[in-house]
Amino acid sequence: MKAIALIIALVLLYYRPRNPKATGWFHGYVNWLQRVFNLNSSRQGIFAWLMAVGLPALLMINVYFLILFKFGLLAALVVNVVVLYFVLQFSNFGRETENIYQELSAEKLDDARLSYTTWQKKPMEEYSVSQLASLTIEATLIRAYRGLFAPIMWFVLLGPAGAVLYRASEQLQQVWPDSSAYPLHQFSQKIHQWIDWLPVRFTAICFAIVGDFEDAAYCWRNQAKQWSNRSLGILLTSAAGALDIRLSNKLPDHDKEIERAEAGIGDDPGADEIYAALAMVRRVLLLVIVLVFLLIFGYWLGS
């Protein structure tokens, strides 16, 4: 049932993308919690996190099992599809990535910069083709992971409540990006790192399977530890190795240059590598769906 619900939700999201404002209420809810609770207090901060993340997941558990036992499997399937439709983010990277790929292929660098700025809300006037390609690939991989692979894994493990748990925790990082401002920020960031631990490693393994396994494993083992955000480091280094590219580690910022940790050991990326990254994401998504089917089929055979 989970595999069927996943496929239906992905098809709906592809052909009928939801309005991004449909989940905007959560940001308002979190901001309300921030006003109500004294986030300088660790105890109240933890309670606010439980209200923001734990409460929606707990409510989802109760609603799901109530509908399952009262109305049966078909109604539970509908609940799974609805939850996945609002939790997964399938259309927030593919079309934008393809637009930038097409503009760079046509040597329209200014148009590609404008497309990236509109998509990511970051200025791109000074970036070269390889730097723009690197950042486009990074954005595609990060959005695919946060919007698809991580919530799908938690959905498989814990049902719709797992998907809600991940999405609420991930959205909390967007609302409160400064982890040092309040004890709650530090607590929510630490909890989210724990929640990210398993899916980011599973995603990295999938990148290695569908790409260059040896280079993906090498980059993961030797470069991920250089990143301050370990989860992000594992994701990007394994993907860069699988694609046989080297993501730009030096980016211009007005009159200075920002140096970042390394990711990958291949050539500098261009337009073709953007398309390759998008193709790899699609292959991983197909692999995940197949694995879900095999997992459920194996459980059915063993029961």
Q: Tell me whether residue 137 is exposed, middle or buried, using C-beta atoms within 10 angstroms of its C-beta: 0 to 12, 13 to 18, 19 or more.
A: buried
Mean pLDDT value of segment 9-13: 88
Range of the domain at 61: 2-302
251: phi then psi, degrees, rounded to nearest 5:
-125, 135
pLDDT of 120 above 70:
yes
In the structure, what pLDDT confidence band is assigned to residue 175 with cuts at 50, 70 and 90?
A: confident
pLDDT of 203 above 60:
yes
Encode pLDDT of 238-263 as tens digits: 999 999 999 887 777 666 677 888 89
Give the whole-number percent of the chain exceeding pLDDT 90.
47
pLDDT of residue 272: 92
pLDDT of residue 128: 85
pLDDT of 181 above 70:
no
pLDDT of 67 above 60:
yes
Q: Tell me the pLDDT of the chain averaged across its residues.
A: 86
Q: Number of structural domains, the chain?
A: 1
From its phi and psi, is residue 182 left (phi > 0), alpha (psi between -120 and 50) or beta?
Answer: beta
Encode pLDDT of 213-233 as tens digits: 999 999 999 999 999 889 999
Q: Which of 6-10, 183-187, 276-280 has the lowest mean pLDDT?
A: 183-187
Between these two residues, 38 and 294, which has the higher pLDDT value? 294
Between these two residues, 25 and 79, which has the higher pLDDT value? 79
In the structure, what pLDDT confidence band is assigned to residue 293 with cuts at 50, 70 and 90?
A: confident
37: phi then psi, degrees, rounded to nearest 5:
-100, 150
pTM of the model: 0.90
pLDDT of residue 251: 77
pLDDT of residue 14: 81
